[in-house]
Amino acid sequence: MNLETLVTEHPQIKDLINQQPIFWRNPDYAQKAELPFSKADIFDAVARLERFAPYLAKVFPETAATNGIIESPLISLNEMQKTWEQQNQQDLAGSLYLKADNALPISGSIKSRGGIYEVLKFAEKIAITHGNLAYMDDYSILASAEFRQLFSDYSVIVASTGNLALSVGIVAATFGFKTTVYMSHDARQWKKDKLRENGVTVKEFNTNFSSVMPKARAAAAADPNCHFVDDEGSNDLFLGYAVAAVRLQKQLKDQQIKVDQEHPVIVYLPAGVGGSPSGVTFGLKTILGPNVHAIFCEPTHVPSVTLGMMTQLNNRISVYDIGLDGLTAADGLAVGRPSRLAGKIMRTLLFGSVTFPDNDIYRYVAQLQDTQGITVEPSAAAGFTGIAPTIKNMPAFNSNHATHIVWATGGSMMPQSEREANYAKGKELMIAPLIHA
């Protein structure tokens, strides 16, 4: 891989190297391609989550109100839209919504979809193969001492910058699995503390996520009774995220939001390793069709999915290869090398991506709090950075009939001190101008 050649072939890499915000439009978008998953795979995941609903409602009381279904609201952002227009000095003609995965139960982030789903699938396999669980049973029996004893013979390992660790760690430990989380230097202290409170072993490393991953993988491989949750390439994580589309389809219908050629829906998704936004995008394109368009949003210091897709090298290139430091306040997005799955499957499904400086997300954290009373962590505000460059480059998306959905990926479990610090920083930065691609 010669960097000079790459820059010649893909001139926008020069902007990535210089940490300049960009808008990258995928040249392969909407072309025909063979995909490794189907609509049936998504519905299989939906059915598994429904089988586990009685168990989740029993062991996680916060899910009882939804009968054990893990879901988040779709919220109209009328007030935030007005503030966004003032801050960006332009009109946003369509409607603005928040898909509030920051409010997902159990682990308070989008990882509640994929991470929890993967642990459920592993538990089901153990309970059916080595226990006496039948598919038609009431799965709440899995909370019994008998099954907890069975699960204690097995272990789960995951490497994470934070939110995936919370979802996998909390649920795996609740089942009774011996659970270990490998965390990179980007992980917030409160997330480590929360995991330890839930009986999870946390191993900390003063290095980046991509360097921690092989250590976790090797530890899992040494134990035949261990399940490794692979954030860089897990099919189960991917399909757990894809379930979001089935739920969103119903929410759009309930709120009378049309999805057709005259009524496009543009979805803005923060991207770290790329697994969760790719799973959601695959689901949206599969369930809702061609008039939903996904934009990934990444920090200028860690544009790993953008770089991988732009060069088509995917996981064979990292941000460190082009001289970036990979450091960002958006801890959930601090992943230098993208998922093995993300680029391959997104090749024809992702409309494009944007990159943003960290200061912008703090501003949006404060604005969302001021206008709507909604608190998100900095990485979860990344979707807001995608709107201005997208409508600038795609004026057709700035129509009265368009719907813009910002996917808020985490934040409801943050300690009050963390919320206050993020808000204060955002308010301080409000006076500085936004920098767009």
pLDDT over 90 at 187, yes or no: no
Cα–Cα distance, 403 to 358 (Å, whole number) = 26
Cα–Cα distance, 383 to 364 (Å, whole number) = 9
Q: What are phi and psi of 130, to 5 degrees?
A: -115, -5
For residue range 313-366, list pLDDT tens digits in order.
999 999 999 999 999 999 889 999 999 999 999 999 999 999 999 999 999 999
pLDDT over 90 at 60, yes or no: yes
Q: What is the DSSP letter of 63?
A: G
Q: What pLDDT sits at residue 137?
A: 98
Q: What pLDDT sits at residue 378?
A: 96
pLDDT over 90 at 154, yes or no: yes
pLDDT over 80 at 433, yes or no: no
Per the CB < 8 A criterion, the answer to whether 386 and 295 are in contact is: yes
Helix axes 111-129, 39-59, angle to 10 degrees: 80
Under the banding of pLDDT at 50, 70 and 90, the label for residue 114 is very high
Q: What pLDDT sits at residue 127?
A: 98
For residue range 211-240, list pLDDT tens digits in order.
999 999 999 999 999 999 999 999 999 999
Cα–Cα distance, 155 to 71 (Å, whole number) = 27
What percent of the chain stands above pLDDT 70?
A: 99
Q: What are phi and psi of 223, to 5 degrees?
A: -120, 110
DSSP E strand stretches across 17-128: 23-25, 74-76, 95-100
Q: What pLDDT sits at residue 222?
A: 97
Cα–Cα distance, 87 to 360 (Å, whole number) = 11
> Domains in the chain, ordered, with CATH?
3-37+65-106+238-429 (3.40.50.1100), 108-231 (3.40.50.1100)
147 half-sphere exposure, CB direction, 13 A CA radius: 21
pLDDT over 80 at 432, yes or no: no
Q: What pLDDT sits at residue 136?
A: 96
Q: What pLDDT sits at residue 431?
A: 75
Q: What pLDDT sits at residue 161?
A: 87
Under the banding of pLDDT at 50, 70 and 90, the label for residue 185 is confident
Mean pLDDT of the chain: 96
For residue range 121-149, list pLDDT tens digits in order.
999 999 999 999 999 999 999 999 999 99
257-266 average pLDDT score: 98
Per the CB < 8 A criterion, the answer to whether 283 and 244 are in contact is: yes
Burial of residue 10 (number of CB atoms within 10 Å: 0-12, 13-18, 19+): middle
Q: What is the DSSP letter of 330?
A: -
Cα–Cα distance, 261 to 353 (Å, whole number) = 21
What percent of the chain stands above pLDDT 90?
A: 94
